[in-house]
A and B are shown apart, each in its own frame.
Chain A
Amino acid sequence: MGSGAHLQGRSALLEVDDLTVEFPGIRALDSVHFDILAGEVHALVGENGAGKSTLLKVLGGVHRPSSGEVRLSGEAYHPRRPADALAAGIAVIYQEFNLYPDLTVAENVFSGREPYAKGSRGIRYAEINRRTSELFAVLGVTIDPTATVGSLTVSEQQLVEICKALSVDGRIIVMDEPTAALSADEVTQLLDVVKRLRAEGRSVIYVSHRLDEVFALADRVTVLRDGKHIRTCDIADTDPDGLVRLMVGRDVESVFHRDQVSEGTVVLELTDVNAGRRLKDISLTVRAGEVVGIGGIAGAGQPELSQVIFGALGVDSGTMTLNGEPFRPRHPGDAMARGIGFLHEDRKVAGNLPDLSIRHNLTISILDKVRTGIGRFLAPAKETDVYDGYHRRLNIKATGPDQLIGQLSGGNQQKVLLGRALAPGGRLLLLNEPTRGVDIGAKAEIHRLINILTADGAAVLMVSSDLPELLGVSDRVYVMAGGEIVGHLTGADRTEENVVACATTGRRIFSKELSKR
């Protein structure tokens, strides 16, 4: 168990004062304070978008602060490149690893700093292999230094990153969600490794959504919310519930108001669906006229679930029914033909068609409906009608149908993509993170639209990592962890505490079904 007591009187190794980071249009960090002592594990927690990643990237030399001061051992620290951070002894391990999959473990660890032998023998492989093994021994693990990194498991790759950090004698090792993709055993191993790092006298900044890990590991914890520093305290001075309250910290009820909707017939039903290693025994129902939320920490399988229903990922076993009929789409086209609309969580990568106009982005999945004449050619007039319809209905702010989608604001882009998802006229909508990266006003409009749609009898399955949204907009909430459904919350059980508890502590909560039809 971590305790702050032994840290009394030590001076800060790294101090962050009044740090503000601004991106065009948004203030990602707002006068944040943070410090870490030598030999401390300092947990950094907060909801998605709280600014944790931005802080890490400032420390890692990826982002530059707009104002504020960072001091390392009392001296100003302004890394301009990732390499500067490493040279200063700060090693950041991002979620997306910086490894060369084709090179060996030892080559990865010493990349850019390979020791040379005199004469013609080149890189001293014997030496780097030996030193790599020694570093792994410090961590208490064994990995073959001559193995190819691409052949390792995710957890082993993580250890290679840590080993890399040790090899530059990193004084501060920063880990961003290190356990997001690990199994339970691997998590235990990683926690042991972090404890050894602390015993070595190194400092660790540990970012995690999983509060059980935080309490097992950290000496102190800092909570960020909406880019602001909320609190830093000894881990002994708080408890999981208190921490959750600090992370959430909002008046939930007032933001979203959802009309009570009478439940309709079952539109979608999944029974014991398995898909690859990502989804295990998923069973759920979605009824006409209701919004079903899917919550959980990132990487728990939520987007995969919606992609399975949309036919973008294959199903290994289990049954799906749509409106009572068996349903097994092999391609998104199949699902669209059955009237399912889909919104991808990553607008930039898998949503926008950046070279196409708004009008063409809207009609791309319903080209059959905008054709005319004997030649069945596309009719620009009909496409413009489609545009006009959604332009009004979704209140899209644009200069005209021919504006490129990339020139719109995030919120308006999202509305266009929402329009695209609605266009097939579907009775079932799969919405992934419908308001991610969207400003408050557009967010409310999207929520109101979801309300109207369900009032008309559409069924909505919404994946959201935004807790207030998840709880405010959904009638029922399923919580996922590790590819499984670990919670089903209805009625009064739909609280942030319950969602967080299911997602992070391994507790399972299943509300009784209120009504059966």
Chain B
Amino acid sequence: MTTETIIERTGDKPAKISFGRLWDTWGVTAILILLLLCTPAIAPGFLEVENLQSVLRESAYVGIVAVGMTFAIASGAFDLSVGGQLALTSVVSLMAFSGGGTAAAIAAAIVTGLLCGLVNAGLITRLRVPPFVATLGSLFVFRGIAYLLTQDGPKTLPYSQIHSPFVKLGSLNIAGLPLPFIIMVAVFAGGWILLRRTAIGRRTLAYGSSPSAARFCGISDTRIRLFVFGLVGLTVGIAALTYITRVWTADGSAQDGFELKVIAAVVLGGTALKGGKGTLVGTFSAVFLVSVLNEVLVSRGVESAYQRIVLGCVLIVALTIDGLRTRFAGPGSFRRAITGLIPRKTTQATS
């Protein structure tokens, strides 16, 4: 009875475009723009072309995987294994390159990434292991296999191959824009269409919003899991290509802590942890927010260790707001989330 009546009440007010809803989608973008406007003052040299290109290039692989992760989180799950997937995919792709050249390397990366994703989906749907534990376990398995393949030393791109088209993937600039960045923008565009304009994208959001209601809409959870984790694997495959052509080497320890960077970007971007919402615009801005922040810290001479601390704190702040907003969901929730931080006296009903 009570739950019904509470819903009843909220309906009487006409819906406005609330500040909270705007903030969901555009908040991070606003902060990013603000930060960029400030950079000339706090980090001179940041806006130089070389530096900007480097930032764009560096952001690409986090950004590409963040697209897949946005789907995962929108469906109400995590994929913690992306770091392991990236290491494994990179190693396999480099091996394929030394064996079969550019085409083989690209195919190997995509196939390996997809396979990793399917393994995760299988663990979750067939063995009924909860997603975060399944992917925590597979993180170590994937990384372990990558270590196994690189016992004799990291796999590398030989310097003699500097003119190979494969290497160009990472180094080419088109109209001043690095190719990895262009690939990333393409992945984001594809992801946006998938999420907003296809049935499976809509079903992913529906499933994340309420798995039980989605079931009664005829949505199969197996298919959603396969799609989501397969997509994460696919984006890791693409990201691995931009990664190895940038750093030229990979082994089992490649990109330790990658999963956190990616999850942080998605969550910062405004995709709710409880699922049902996904904003790729936000993710896009958040990816750059984090890398610009890092870049600024670096240019100010702050060590990488402190960058971790900043990243972790930013994550906690973002999640605290997310947690409070979930608790005080509904119109005007943003304001209530802020005021909710202040403990209130509970009113006594009777005297």
Contacts and interface: CB of A to CB of B under 8 A. Distances in A.
B277 A352 contact: no
Interface string B1-12: 111111111111
A512 B276 CA distance: 50
B212 A350 contact: yes
Given A49-B1, A365-B218, A351 B9 contact: no
Interface string A43-67: 0000001000110000000011111
Contacts of A335: 218
Contacts of B12: 25, 409
A23 B199 CA distance: 39
Given A24-B9, A26-B5, A413-B7, A407 B216 contact: no
B202 interface: yes
Nearest to A417: B213
Contacts of B197: 375, 377-378
B209 A355 contact: yes
A336 B215 CA distance: 12
A403 interface: yes
A407 B6 contact: no
A356 B203 CA distance: 11
Contacts of B348: 64, 78, 80
B27 interface: no
Interface string A5-46: 000000000000000000111101000000000000000000
A407 B332 CA distance: 11
Contacts of A410: 4-5, 7-8, 11
A14 to B, nearest CB: 16
Contacts of A375: 197
Contacts of A28: 1-2, 5
Nearest to A348: B3
Nearest to A373: B197
Interface string A390-424: 00000000111001101111111100000010000
Closest 7 CB pairs of A and B: A409-B11, A355-B276, A437-B4, A64-B349, A333-B218, A367-B199, A24-B9
A312 interface: yes
Interface of B: 1-15, 193, 196-199, 202-203, 205-206, 208-210, 212-220, 272, 275-277, 329-331, 348-350
23 contacts: A23-B2, A23-B6, A28-B1, A64-B350, A312-B215, A332-B217, A335-B218, A337-B218, A342-B216, A344-B213, A347-B4, A348-B3, A349-B210, A350-B216, A351-B213, A355-B277, A365-B217, A378-B197, A407-B10, A409-B12, A410-B8, A410-B11, A437-B1
B345 to A, nearest CB: 12
Contact of A404 (B15, B219, B350): B15
B272 A407 contact: no
Contacts of B5: 23-26, 28, 410, 437
Given A25-B8, A355-B272, A437-B5, A331 B206 contact: no
A49 B4 CA distance: 12
Contacts of B275: 355
Interface in A314-349: 331-333, 335-337, 342, 344, 347-349
The size bracket of the interface on A is 35 or more
B350 A65 contact: yes
Contacts of B350: 64-65, 67-69, 78
Given A64-B350, A332-B218, A371-B199, A353 B331 contact: no
A408 B203 CA distance: 22
B198 A356 contact: no
A344 B217 CA distance: 10
Contact of A66 (B15, B199, B213, B349): B349
A399 B12 CA distance: 11
A356 B209 contact: yes
A156 B213 CA distance: 32
Contact of A354 (B8, B199, B209, B216): B209
A409 B199 contact: no
Given A407-B331, A437-B1, 13 more contacts: A23-B6, A24-B8, A24-B9, A312-B215, A332-B218, A342-B216, A350-B213, A363-B202, A371-B199, A378-B196, A406-B7, A410-B11, A437-B8
A354 B4 contact: no
Contact of B7 (A333, A348, A398): A348
Given A23-B2, A80-B348, A437-B8, A407 B209 contact: no
Contact of A355 (B205, B215, B349): B205
Among the interface residues A365, A368, A411, which one has the most CB atoms of the partner chain B within 10 A? A365
B15 A403 contact: yes
Contact of A356 (B7, B14, B206, B331): B206
Contact of B213 (A67, A69, A352, A400): A352
A403 B350 CA distance: 37
A229 interface: no
A84 to B, nearest CB: 12
A491 B265 CA distance: 64
A364 interface: yes
Nearest to A62: B2
